[in-house]
Structure formats: structure tokens, C-alpha cells
Chain A
Amino acid sequence: MNDVKKPTMAGGKKSILDRLKKDLEKLKEEAENFGVEEAVIALLDAMAAYYDLTGAHNTSIANFNGVCVIRTRQASDHIAASAEFANGRMSVYRGERKPWQVCITFVDADALWAFLISGAADVLDLLLKNSAQIEGNANYFYRFGFLARELVRETGFDRFLPKSA
């Protein structure tokens, strides 16, 4: 990795974001073919890559330390992925990484995917619709929601999203 010449922020960030946007559009289509869990992992990987490659980790997640778990309740189609933030880096894991600070359990895969790509991260809305339950410290979820929304906004992906989840 040390031998790789990283692009400069000015021109490089735009090209990285454009690439991420294309990847996210492709992810939408792939979710139907390869399953939501693969798409969730890929989305989280994209987030981690965004921080690594653009240097945004120096600011956005520099002091964010904790684990956020995203999973579904359905046993028949159980999905679980974890995003760990530590020392200014984001790491992605399959399954539930313990101990976690917050765990969001969606009723099913559709609810999970709709939430992740909609750009909406309103916790109360999820609770009102009973489409998810939050265990643990919701402040971590608020922060994670901000980061996810920022990724969507920075890549311009939000223009291609449905109006509502």
C-alpha cells in the first residue's frame, strides 16, 4: 500500500467519488442478484474505502470509536454486518462483532436495504413504522447515519434514489 501513489485531494477526490457513485448504482442492481447481505457488505466497504482514499478519515471519523451492527430479525434470511470505527479507520466485518455499541435489527432484508440506500436515517421513523429495533446507544446510530448520508450526498448518489424508502 505504501508504494501506491495516492491521488491528490483536489482532482482525486472527485474521481473517487464518481467511481463510488457508479459502484453504488451497480450495487442497487446487484442486491437483487446476489442478495442483500453481499450488497450491505459492499456498501460498507465502499464507505470504508471512501474514508481511506479521500483522507476524510482525518476529520469525519478521527474520534469515532465504536461498533455498529446491522442485522435482520428473520432467521430464514438472516443478515448481519458490522462496521467498526477505531483510530480513525473504518473496518467492515460479516456477522456481529462484539462488544457493539449499537445494534439495529430490521424486520427483514428489504427493510434493511431500503433504509441503507434511501439516504434517510431517521431513527424515529424506523421505530414508528416498527421496521427496526435499536439496542444500545442510539447516538452511535445517529453518527453512523450521518456518515452514511454524507457518503450518499458526496457521491451524488441521492439523485438516483427513490423519494422514499
Chain B
Amino acid sequence: MGGTFMMDYQKFFNLSAAPQIPKSAQGRRDAYFRAMPEICIERAALVTKYHVDHELLGKKKISVRDKARAYHYVQENRTAVVWHTSAMEKTATGPAPFALAKDLVDESPLAGSTTSKFKGIPLFPEFMALSIWPELYTISTRAANPHYLDTAPKSDGQPSDAERLDREIFAPWMNDTVLELARAQHDPYIHQPNLSLFEHMQYAVFYATTKIECISHTIPTFQRAVRRGVAAMIADAEAAAAAATDPEKSEFFQAVAIALDGILVYAERLAAKAEAMAQVETDAGRREKLSEIAARYRRVPRQPAESFRDGVTTVWLCWSSILQENQNVGISLGRLDQLLHPLLQKELANAASAADQKRVLDDAFELLCHFWLKIGDHVPMMPEAGEQLYGGAGSNQAITIGGVNYADGKPVDAVNDLTYLMLDATEAMKLRDPNLNARYHTDVNDEVYLRRVILSNINTRATPAVHNDKAVIKMLQDKGATPAHAMDYGIVGCVEPVSAGRHYGHTGSVLINLPAVLEWTFYNGRHRHTGLGADDPVIGAPTGDPRKFADFEQFMTAFEKQIDKMVDDVVTLNNWLGETHQHYYPTPTLSALFEGPMDKGMDVIMGGATYNSSGMAIIGLADAADSLASIAEVVFANGRNRFGELLAALDPASNGAGHDALFAELARPERRYGRQGSAGTALAARIAAKLDAEFGKRKNYRGGDYRVGYYSVTSHAAYGLLTGALPSGRKNKAPLASGITPESNTPVALTETLASVGSLPATALGNGFALNISFAPFADTPATEQRCMDYVKGYFAAPGTPSAAPQPGGLEVQFNMMGREALRQALAHPDPHLLVRVSGYTAYFKDLSATMQQEVITRTEYGYAAGQVIPIAASKGGAPRGPALPFGQKQGGNTP
């Protein structure tokens, strides 16, 4: 085996034996699945009180130092939870508490909690928390994903949490949310009938800019905290503040010191609480655990970590402190196997015997299982209709393992003991978060590691995703990273690669519906969802009537002009909102835990990070490419222009009825993206290059570049609901294709799919992509594992677009390995533990919307042996529920 191992991994761990949940974590895991999410108002209440008491609202700017003091106040006053004692669950008669005791006891070695609740929902009134205002008294009992909120007045006469939100917490922010501050500054059309970019956004069909919700989507660094301790970091910041001649830089350094001190204050409060609990604890075992926690939390993160347990504690406390400041949408933890392995190595080296070394590994595995539970101790707030769009999504905090490091001018194997232990923990716990991502370098990492990654996918059915080191490293270097920084990449949120801890990429800045842009080309800037009448808004560019275009190239020119318009709009909106963040929402805690700000003397939001960019996510590439291929080969075939006929067929009133012959022509799969050498594949590459080039001309508000990626979360289903029938043959309201994956049931063989996707220009895919591959179930044998490994290796080595130098292959791939039948059965008999890969992240199947569930079920499924496509067959008892069939297909034939 390559890599750095203190142990002969295969001697102690049987690669074919599935890791078991440690007994100490089983109870907490069971409680986690039993508990319903609970809204915690604590952070919102404390932040609001601080802002109101210090008159920070209504000002033209909030300084980074004021923000640091606000978060310090939160750390001083939020509940110091050592162990939770109760949680809420959904029962037949409504939400009810259950005790965490006996078999469901919480005795985590990691004290502290993101919120005051066991499975909490933190609120950020600075962003979109006010959107649940209308639901305060119904959110606990709504049908989809209820969030428990205390609505009963307290026994001491104090108001309920719902009442506090209504009367005290939400009201001060009405004009001071990030969206309203940006609108007030930039929207010149208030009170006029003309639409502005903010109102375009409200139509929900064109793009979704996430800065109104958060920035998030990044990877901090915990290296200095682990290796030097937070006290040393504070001393550095205070010294820098004293030495700085620029008052703004001095203020920033002071803010860093204040924010870091907040972390130590919270740690000390947890230590004191654990000590107090130990003094009254009658059970000797619990008393010992509490005493150990108290001692450890007095030591770290103040001082450097001395043990693996210290290191994990430091990471946990620093990361969860960032979450008091930043809403967690993809705040990822980076390459923890690289960061923490030296601590584990030291313990293994100091072990007296092989048995002791085994104990060290077992303890580390157990701790990781507890850490995985802690990382997922909160979920995002979701308003009622948001469930239709994003139901099932967690917070998507990613951890990256494996791959290579840079040493002596070349890549060296980075896989180590901890890489394997993290795979073990992921496989044992089967939680949707953390979102584990495995890096694999075809020339450096060995096959034992790849086999282990594949085995984890087989055992969990859905994780981890696998990333192609050669392709990603080259792409990052092409985008400006040094070789060392490129090789130190981590995955953010879903699938986005950035240099870990130093690249502030907001990789989820805007989610763009590409078929909507195509539709602007059909209707000279209008869209079916917003109306095609003369009084209906023109959102896109005026590019003319396609019924009068001479040929397909004229249509493509018009489409590319619409792309230019879309890029202009989203970049303008993103930069406006980014500037608002700069004025009102600096993030000193995150900046303290990032490479760059201490050197530059500025917050990450001002451009303090070493690398800066904003990431776009394009949804519907396959649908757009396939539609264009059909337009080229059918609508403009033989010198004709049949656009009038096409528009009549796309009319939402008819939805293709009466145009069977045309739709049958349009829907033929041979030309589609996903077929090797097809027109659709060539057009997908052309679109990707165009988007990268157009976004590449712009700079963001931090002076960084724009990068384009192709992952869709659940937006492909959401945008699909708002998108009518398309020239690809896709029917009205059907989901768009997920991520960069070809449309379902287009491919004929896995190798063609992988070659088609792998041929896209990697440099144009700077924000990463999600390729979803579903396998029919197969028995786990060395032969089947090898077959899967061969697919990955072949895909990663596939030649890219022709150029002077050979290109590496596809950037990423992720799997579902449970099969359609298991998913269909899960519809009737929901399994709370069934994980699926959505499009970038992992979710519990039962939490997905009905539309999303059907989308996952109807994805192209391949047999492992030859990679052949498994046709969709009707399930027992007739065709399953779900979205309408592809146009032209009838029940009883090739039905989903």
C-alpha cells in the first residue's frame, strides 16, 4: 500500500467486513433519527439584542469589530450544553418530548452544541429567517418536514419562543436584512411598474442568488488552531493590531482577537459546566467522562492539541463557532485526514504494544463516529414551499480525504490511517452529513485505497463521491493556483474544488436555470412562466423572432447573446449583494480561521483570502444541449425553418398534444449528450466553453474571478416544475437532468456516458460538477469491486477535448447503488436510514419531495458487469406515481 501508515491496515481491518457502529455512539445515533428538528431562537435573540442595544441597525455600515463583539456576546451567553437530556419527536398526536436516557443517552466525548437543541435549527434574522414569520404557529405541525417551535407560554409567565420571534426578534430586522439593504441601495424601481433584477429573482424560474441566505460554501483552516492553539492566534492578532498603522487594518486585527476570544470563552464555559455536572454525578463512569471533558476543554483549543482527541475537539469548537456567525450551507471541514493524522501518528508511535496500537485506532474510530454525529447536530431552516424546492437537503458540510500532497516538486500519496478510519466511520454511521468526498490520483494512489472507496459506496449505497486528482489539480492550476495549493484542494459543500483553507470561493453563489435562458431565445426575451403577452415582462435580451432565422448558427448566436444577458444580470446581482455583505456582514471568526486575512489585514469578505472567486451552478446543461441538438437537426434541417411548428408544440396550453410526430423526431436519443461523439455532446462542450469565457470576463466584488460548475442540489427538480416542455422531448414540469449527468435514459452504455462527460473541457468547469451514476444492485465480490474500480480509472483517464496536450478525464463521479426496486419499495415502506446521492450531496430518501424521489428512481441505471443500461420496467401493480412520462411514450411500453 502507498501512503503513510503506522499500521498494516489490512492486518487489523478486513476490507470486506462492514465497520460497526460503536456501542457508545449507537444510542445517540438512534436518538438522532428519532428526533425532529427544533427551532432554536437563542442565537437570533442574542444577536438581535446586541444589535439593538448598540444601535447597529439602520446604520450605513456595521464594522467588523462590532460584528466580532456581537458574536463574542453570543459565545458568552448561549447555553453551554455538555450533554443533551431531551429532544422532540413527531407523534400521532403532535410533537412531544422524549428523554435522552438509557439506550438513547447522550454521553458524547465532544461537549458543545451548534444550538441549544439536540437537532437544532439556528435562525439568522439578518438573512431569510423572517420568511417563516407567517408560519410561526403552524410550522410545528406542517405536513412536510415540520420544525418544532415552542408556542406555549412558559410556566414562569415568560413568552413562548414563537411570541419572542414575533414581538422581539424579527421586528428589528425588517429593513435590515441583507436583501432589503441591497434593494434599498440598488433597486431604482421601487414603486414603479418596471421590473428590476431583484424582481426577476423573485420569479424563481431564472436564477437563485444565495447571498440573500448566506455566503457560506467555503473551507476554513484549523491548522493554526490545532498546531499553535487559539491563545497564540489571539496574541498574534493583538500584536498586529498594535503594530498596524492603517486604522482599518488595526480594527480588523482587533476583531479577529475578539472573535477568537469568544471561542475560548465558550470552551471555558463548557469546561465549567462539565466540572459542575461531575461534582453531582453519582455514576462513576459518567463522572470520569465529565471530568475528562472539563480538563480537555480547559486545555484546548486554547493550547496546541497534544492528542488526536484534542485535535478533534479544537476542530469541533472552532467550526461550530463559525456557525454562530455564518449560516451553514456548505461550510466544509477540509482535509481532516491530513490535518489530524500527525496527532494519531504520535499516539501510535508511543503505543507500547500492537494491542495498544489497536486500541488507539479503535478509540480514534469511536471518536470519529461521535464527531460525525456532532457535525450533523443542526439542519437548515426551510419555509413551507421551500420544501418543494430543497426538501431533504442537509447543511452539506463536506470532508475531503485521500488524494495527493505536494512534496519536492511532485505529488506524493496522501492516504493514511485516518483516511481509512474516516471511511470506516462514514460507512458505520450512514449519516447524510458530513458529505464525504474521496480524492483519487490515478498515478499515485494505490488500488487498495480505491477498492476501499468503492467498498464504502457498495456498503452505504451512496457515498463517498470520487474526485479525479489529476483533472482537478490541473484545472485549479489553470485557474491560477500554485502546484502546492492546487494539490491541497478540498471539496466544498456538494462537489466544488477549492484550495482548502485559503480560497474564499462562495461556490454556491447563484444557481442558474440554463433552459430558461434558452427559452428567452425562443420568445425574444420572454418566458412561458412569466407570460408571453405584450404586457408581460421581457427578462432576457431582444434577439429577434427565431421563426425568421436563416439557420441554426443564427439561432446559436442569439442564444449566446441571451447567455451574455444572463451573465450580466447574475454578476450584477451577485456583486450588489456581495457589496452589501461587505458593508453589513463582515465575518471575523471565519477570517480568523482562514489563510490570507492576517497577512492582508482584511476580512475575507473584503478580499482577504489568498484566493478569491464566486462560483456559479448551472442547472439543465443536458436539457439545453439536447434541445439545441434537436433544433439543429430537426427544426433547421435541410435548409428549412420549422420554428413556428416547434413553438406551437411548446405552447403550455397544448403541451405537445397534436404534435406527436414532431416530438418523436425531437426526442430521438441518438443525438443527445451522453452518446459518445453526438451533436449533443459537442454542444454541451460549446455551451460550457461559452459560459466559462463569458463569466471569465467579469470580476466579483472581491476582485476575484467567476467560475462555472454543474451541480444542481435539488434545483433540477424545482426548476423543472417551472419549465415547460423542451425541444429535447422533455415534457412540461418534468425534472431537468441532474448536475452534469445526461438526461435519463439517453445513454446506451456506461462507458459512453463516462467518455461523453469526460470529454468536456475541464478548465471550463472550474466550480466542479456532479455526475450521478446509478448501478443496479450487484453482489459484492472482488470481481464486482474491480469492475467498478476499472470504470472509475478509465473515466478519470479518458482523453478530453483535442488539444496540443492530453487532457485528463472527468472531474468527479458519485453513485447510487441500491437499485430502482429498492427505491420503489421505500416509497411504500419508508426507511429512515436509506441514503441516496441527489446531485452533489447525500440525502435521506424519505425526506425528498415526491418529484425528487421519482427523479432519482427514473435515472438511467447501469448493470455493473458490462455497463449496459437497464431499461425501466413497470413495477408490480401498475406504473408507479410520479411525473408524466416522456412525451410520446405510453404506459405498458417503456414506462418509468
Name A's B-contacting residues (CB within 8 A).
59-60, 63-64, 66, 98-100, 120-125, 127-128, 130, 133-140, 142-143, 145-146, 148-150, 153
Chain B residue at minimal CB-CB distance from A135 = B199
B305 CB → nearest A CB, Å: 44
Q: Which residues of B in the span 168-206 have a Cβ within 8 Å of any Cβ on A?
A: 170-171, 173-175, 177, 179-180, 183, 190-191, 199, 202-204
Given A98-B191, A135-B190, are A127 and B202 also a contact pair (CB < 8 Å)? yes
From B98-106, B384-392, B486-494, give the one contacting chain A: B384-392
- Tally of A-B residue pairs with Cβ under 8 A? 92
* Neighbouring B residues of A139 by C-beta, 8 Å: 130, 133, 170, 173-175, 177, 180
A79 CB → nearest B CB, Å: 17
Decide: A149 and B202 in contact? CB cutoff 8 A. Answer: no
Counting CB contacts under 8 A, is B721 at the interface? yes
* Neighbouring B residues of A135 by C-beta, 8 Å: 190-191, 199
Picked from A64, A130, A150, the residue with its CB within 8 Å of the CB of B529 is: A130
Q: How far is the CA of A78 from the CA of B135 in the complex (A)?
A: 29
Decide: B137 and A150 in contact? CB cutoff 8 A. Answer: yes
Decide: B385 and A146 in contact? CB cutoff 8 A. Answer: no
Q: List 5 A-B contacts (CB under 8 A).
A: A122-B383, A125-B385, A135-B190, A143-B133, A148-B134
Picked from A99, A137, A150, the residue with its CB within 8 Å of the CB of B180 is: A137
Chain A residue at minimal CB-CB distance from B180 = A137
A44 CB → nearest B CB, Å: 16
* Neighbouring A residues of B87 by C-beta, 8 Å: none
Decide: A142 and B190 in contact? CB cutoff 8 A. Answer: no
* Neighbouring B residues of A137 by C-beta, 8 Å: 174-175, 180, 183
* Neighbouring A residues of B191 by C-beta, 8 Å: 98-100, 135-136
* Neighbouring A residues of B202 by C-beta, 8 Å: 127, 133-134
Q: Ordered nearest first, which 4 A-B pairs have the shortest CB separation?
A: A145-B134, A121-B134, A124-B385, A125-B385
Interface size on B, residues (CB 8 A): 36
* Neighbouring A residues of B136 by C-beta, 8 Å: 146
Chain A residue at minimal CB-CB distance from B192 = A135
Decide: A124 and B131 in contact? CB cutoff 8 A. Answer: yes
Decide: B134 and A63 in contact? CB cutoff 8 A. Answer: no
Q: Other than the known A63-B171, A125-B388, A153-B137, what 14 A-B pairs have Cβ atoms closer than 8 Å?
A: A59-B167, A60-B167, A100-B191, A120-B384, A124-B204, A127-B203, A128-B385, A133-B203, A135-B191, A137-B174, A139-B130, A142-B132, A146-B134, A153-B138
B531 CB → nearest A CB, Å: 8
* Neighbouring B residues of A121 by C-beta, 8 Å: 134-135
A118 CB → nearest B CB, Å: 11
Given A127-B202, A128-B722, A150-B137, are A143 and B170 also a contact pair (CB < 8 Å)? yes
Decide: B175 and A133 in contact? CB cutoff 8 A. Answer: no
Decide: B529 and A124 in contact? CB cutoff 8 A. Answer: no
* Neighbouring A residues of B821 by C-beta, 8 Å: none
Q: How far is the CA of A44 from the CA of B386 in the complex (A)?
A: 28
* Neighbouring A residues of B831 by C-beta, 8 Å: none
Chain A residue at minimal CB-CB distance from B191 = A99
* Neighbouring B residues of A66 by C-beta, 8 Å: 174
Counting CB contacts under 8 A, is B356 at the interface? no
Picked from B166, B183, B190, the residue with its CB within 8 Å of the CB of A146 is: B166
Given A122-B384, A124-B131, are A149 and B204 also a contact pair (CB < 8 Å)? no
* Neighbouring A residues of B825 by C-beta, 8 Å: none
Chain B residue at minimal CB-CB distance from A145 = B134
Decide: A124 and B134 in contact? CB cutoff 8 A. Answer: no
Picked from B130, B137, B173, B383, the residue with its CB within 8 Å of the CB of A124 is: B383
Given A59-B167, A99-B191, are A142 and B134 also a contact pair (CB < 8 Å)? yes
B197 CB → nearest A CB, Å: 13
Picked from B131, B175, B529, the residue with its CB within 8 Å of the CB of A142 is: B131
Counting CB contacts under 8 A, is B530 at the interface? yes
* Neighbouring A residues of B722 by C-beta, 8 Å: 128
Picked from B134, B135, B190, the residue with its CB within 8 Å of the CB of A136 is: B190
Chain B residue at minimal CB-CB distance from A125 = B385
* Neighbouring A residues of B383 by C-beta, 8 Å: 122-124
Q: How far is the CA of A143 from the CA of B173 in the complex (A)?
A: 11
Q: How far is the CA of A145 from the CA of B166 in the complex (A)?
A: 12
Q: How far is the CA of A124 from the CA of B389 in the complex (A)?
A: 10
* Neighbouring A residues of B177 by C-beta, 8 Å: 139
Q: How far is the CA of A135 from the CA of B530 in the complex (A)?
A: 15
* Neighbouring A residues of B386 by C-beta, 8 Å: 124
Decide: A122 and B134 in contact? CB cutoff 8 A. Answer: yes
Looking at B134, B199, B386, the one whose CB has the most chain A CB atoms below 10 A away is B134
* Neighbouring B residues of A145 by C-beta, 8 Å: 133-134
Chain B residue at minimal CB-CB distance from A64 = B171
Q: How far is the CA of A138 from the CA of B740 in the complex (A)?
A: 34
* Neighbouring A residues of B389 by C-beta, 8 Å: 124, 128
Decide: A130 and B203 in contact? CB cutoff 8 A. Answer: yes
B405 CB → nearest A CB, Å: 44
Looking at A63, A128, A150, the one whose CB has the most chain B CB atoms below 10 A away is A128
* Neighbouring B residues of A140 by C-beta, 8 Å: 174
Q: How far is the CA of A120 from the CA of B529 in the complex (A)?
A: 22
A61 CB → nearest B CB, Å: 10
Given A98-B191, A130-B203, are A123 and B131 also a contact pair (CB < 8 Å)? yes
* Neighbouring A residues of B170 by C-beta, 8 Å: 139, 142-143
* Neighbouring B residues of A100 by C-beta, 8 Å: 191
Decide: A125 and B137 in contact? CB cutoff 8 A. Answer: no
* Neighbouring A residues of B180 by C-beta, 8 Å: 137, 139
User: Per-position contact with A for B362-403: 1 when CB-CB < 8 Å, else 0?
Assistant: 000000000000000000000111101100000000000000
* Neighbouring A residues of B131 by C-beta, 8 Å: 123-124, 138, 142
Picked from A99, A130, A143, the residue with its CB within 8 Å of the CB of B174 is: A143
B818 CB → nearest A CB, Å: 30
A56 CB → nearest B CB, Å: 11
Looking at B136, B167, B202, the one whose CB has the most chain A CB atoms below 10 A away is B202
Decide: A122 and B183 in contact? CB cutoff 8 A. Answer: no
Looking at B137, B173, B389, the one whose CB has the most chain A CB atoms below 10 A away is B137
Q: How far is the CA of A153 from the CA of B140 in the complex (A)?
A: 15
B155 CB → nearest A CB, Å: 20
Q: How far is the CA of A139 from the CA of B135 in the complex (A)?
A: 13
